[in-house]
């Protein structure tokens, strides 16, 4: 008999992890709903033609593919087999597991475009699967937690994303973090201004690594990608710019003077800030980061990234505006803006900073314990009455030593036990013991209910 095991890169979530994850997810969901986002779900499996070609060649390699049912070899020819596995793949698999929530969302919008109310604000919290090499903090199954609004160019959406991020962090008691903000149009403008018009793509890819590899290496990479030395020199003052928000904006306007697109990017940022001001909100935690690029090529406007300071974990949230979500499915012109929370990373941050509140683990409030059959019956009589008023209550289901019953309560994190002995039965009370303090007091049922509610 083989010992059972989990597939590489996957995890179980036990009661404690689930309670903590739910604490994070409920906070995020409440916030999305407060801002008018509605939840949707899409299937785990998508047709491979929906998924392939959307994530680049590397992404296609990382898709989990599902074997066709039954005799999956029936359409495979000797020729397919002899020309490498790619040709065979097409014949043996037509479905894959979703790789992110964005492509399924785009597919959903296209398929339901006549029924949806635009602007359509949706959130979606589901696992995704990637056949990545498993490593610390990287899993083959993990949850994504996305909110997008499509069908409007309004910068109110950008302002509201900042507010949603701030609300989630406030509720999670996270105080020391930065919402880094930039705009792809500014990066386009920078490429123009340094004499590399049209090369914002490779520019983004290179400066995206600035944090990880430093300016020296980024310069090498830019040279490798064909950037001229004089272009790189012109970029240098931006990389090293130390200034406050207003100074940065002023510097940028000057730097981008000749680029209409670049100035439009600056204006979009300023307009979003003005909207925040109209809402009576300040710019706390917001940090204009001219070197923020984000790798994904489909962003066309604002881009976001959130970093918690003084922890070892990378960005915990990010997103941006795109102007062509559904083009790949034949529906052009659907623009929008979206962002997502990295739930696994938020979990690790809260754990590292010891910010999970004890209440987040609270489940059963009281365990009724007993010494004998008489006490057991007495406890059974109380049990339904406690639950009827919404108190999460359990009885230890077997007749056994009280020590074992107390151990059960302690291990399960139940704060109170209600002892049902002969004396309690005689006086129609319950001896309530606080397992943390050790204090024990007798209460009538009504008093007990008030005490526990």
Pick out residues in 422-451 that bind a copy of itself (CB under 8 A): none
Rounded least distance, CB 377 to a copy of itself, Å? 5
SS3 call for 429 = coil
Nearest in space to 391 (alpha carbons), one of 438, 323, 309, 446? 446
Strand order in the sheet with 120-129: 38-39, 120-129, 141-150, 336-341, 317-322, 299-308, 177-183, 286-288
Which residue in the set 279, 297, 423, 453 belongs to the binding site for a copy of itself (CB under 8 A)? Answer: 279
Q: Of 25, 42, 202, 314, which one interacts with a copy of itself (CB under 8 A)?
A: 42
Contact region with a copy of itself (CB under 8 A), list: 6-14, 241-249, 255-263, 435-443: 6-14
**Is residue 18 near a copy of itself by the rule CB under 8 A?**
yes
Residue 241 to residue 254: CA distance in whole angstroms = 14
Decide whether 304 or 396 has the Cβ nearer to a copy of itself. 396
61-100 residues in contact with a copy of itself (CB under 8 A) are: 61-62, 64-67, 69-74, 81, 84-85, 88-89, 92-93, 95, 97
Piece of the chain touching a copy of itself by CB under 8 A; list 18-26, 250-258, 312-320, 416-424? 18-26
Residue 44 or 353 with smaller CB distance to a copy of itself:
44
* Contact string (CB under 8 A) for a copy of itself, positions 209-248, x = contact: ----------------------------------------
Residues that contact a copy of itself, how many (by CB under 8 A): 102
Least distance (Å) between residue 176 CB and a copy of itself: 22
Taking the complex as a whole, the smallest distance from the CB of residue 378 to a copy of itself amounts, in Å, to 9
Measure the CA angle with vertex 288, ends 286 and 292; round to 5°. Answer: 115
Residue given tokens 């123009």 in the structure block: 192
Helices (H), 240-372: 245-255, 260-278, 343-352
The binding track of 246-275 with respect to a copy of itself, each residue x by CB under 8 A or -, is -----------------------------x
Q: From its phi and psi, is residue 391 left (phi > 0), alpha (psi between -120 and 50) or beta?
A: beta
Phi and psi angles of residue 140, each rounded to the nearest 5 degrees, phi first: -85, -20
**Contact positions with a copy of itself (CB under 8 A) in 159-178:** 163
Of the two residues 218 and 334, which places its CB atom closer to a copy of itself in the complex? Answer: 334
Residue with tokens 């005689």: 426
Q: How far apart are the first and last CA of the chain?
A: 49
Least Å from the CB of residue 7 to a copy of itself: 5
Give the ranges where 182-241 is alpha helix by DSSP (H): 184-193, 200-207, 210-224, 229-239
Tell the residue number behind the tokens 């994190």, with chain if given: 413
| Burial bucket for residue 369 (CB in 10 Å: 0-12, 13-18, 19+) | buried
Whether 13 contacts 21, CB under 8 Å: yes
* 7 contributes a contact to a copy of itself by CB under 8 A: yes
The residues in 289-348 that bind a copy of itself, with binding defined as CB under 8 A, are 329-330
Can residue 44 be called a binding residue for a copy of itself (CB under 8 A)? Answer: yes
Question: Measured from the CB atom, is 314 or 328 closer to a copy of itself?
Answer: 328
78: tokens are 């000797």
Tokens of 329: 């499915």
């Amino acid at each position: 008999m083989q010992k059972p095991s989990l597939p590489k890169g996957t995890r179980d979530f036990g009661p404690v992890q689930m309670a903590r994850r739910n604490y994070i997810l409920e906070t995020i969901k409440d916030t999305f709903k407060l801002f008018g986002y509605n939840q949707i779900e899409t299937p785990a499996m998508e047709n491979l033609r929906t998924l392939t070609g959307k994530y680049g060649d590397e992404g296609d390699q990382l898709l989990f593919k599902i074997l066709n049912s039954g005799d999956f070899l029936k359409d495979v020819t000797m020729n397919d087999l002899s020309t490498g596995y790619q040709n065979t793949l097409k014949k043996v698999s037509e479905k894959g597991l979703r790789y992110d929530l964005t492509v399924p969302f785009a597919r959903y919008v296209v398929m339901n475009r006549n029924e949806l109310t635009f602007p359509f604000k949706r959130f979606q919290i589901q696992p995704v699967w990637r056949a990545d090499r498993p490593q610390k903090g990287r899993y083959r199954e993990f949850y994504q937690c996305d909110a997008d609004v499509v069908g409007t160019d309004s910068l109110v959406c950008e302002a509201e994303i900042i507010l949603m991020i701030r609300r989630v962090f406030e509720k999670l008691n996270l105080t020391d973090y930065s919402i880094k903000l930039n705009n792809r149009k500014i990066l386009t403008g920078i490429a123009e201004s340094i004499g590399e018009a049209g090369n914002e793509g490779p520019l983004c890819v290179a400066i995206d690594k600035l944090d990880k590899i430093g300016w020296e290496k980024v310069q090498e990479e830019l040279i490798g990608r064909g950037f001229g030395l004089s272009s790189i020199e012109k970029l240098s003052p931006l990389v090293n710019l130390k200034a406050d928000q207003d100074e940065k904006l002023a510097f940028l306007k000057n730097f981008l003077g000749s680029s209409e697109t670049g100035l439009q990017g600056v204006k979009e940022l300023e307009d979003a800030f003005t909207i925040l001001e109209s809402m009576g909100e300040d710019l706390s935690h917001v940090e204009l980061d001219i070197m923020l690029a984000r790798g994904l090529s489909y962003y066309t406007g604002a881009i976001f990234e959130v970093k918690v300071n003084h922890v070892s974990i990378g960005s915990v949230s990010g997103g941006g505006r795109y102007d062509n979500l559904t083009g790949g499915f034949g529906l052009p012109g659907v623009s929008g803006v979206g962002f997502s929370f990295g739930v696994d990373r938020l979990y690790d941050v809260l754990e590292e900073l010891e910010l999970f509140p004890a209440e987040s683990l609270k489940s059963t409030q009281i365990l009724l314990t007993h010494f004998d059959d008489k006490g057991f019956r007495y406890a059974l009589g109380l049990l339904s009455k406690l639950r009827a008023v919404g108190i999460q209550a359990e009885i230890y289901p077997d007749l056994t030593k009280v020590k074992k019953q107390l151990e059960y309560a302690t291990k399960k994190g139940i704060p109170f036990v209600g002892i049902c002995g002969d004396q309690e039965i005689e006086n129609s009370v319950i001896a309530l013991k606080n397992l943390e303090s050790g204090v024990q007091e007798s209460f009538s049922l009504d008093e007990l209910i008030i005490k526990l509610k």
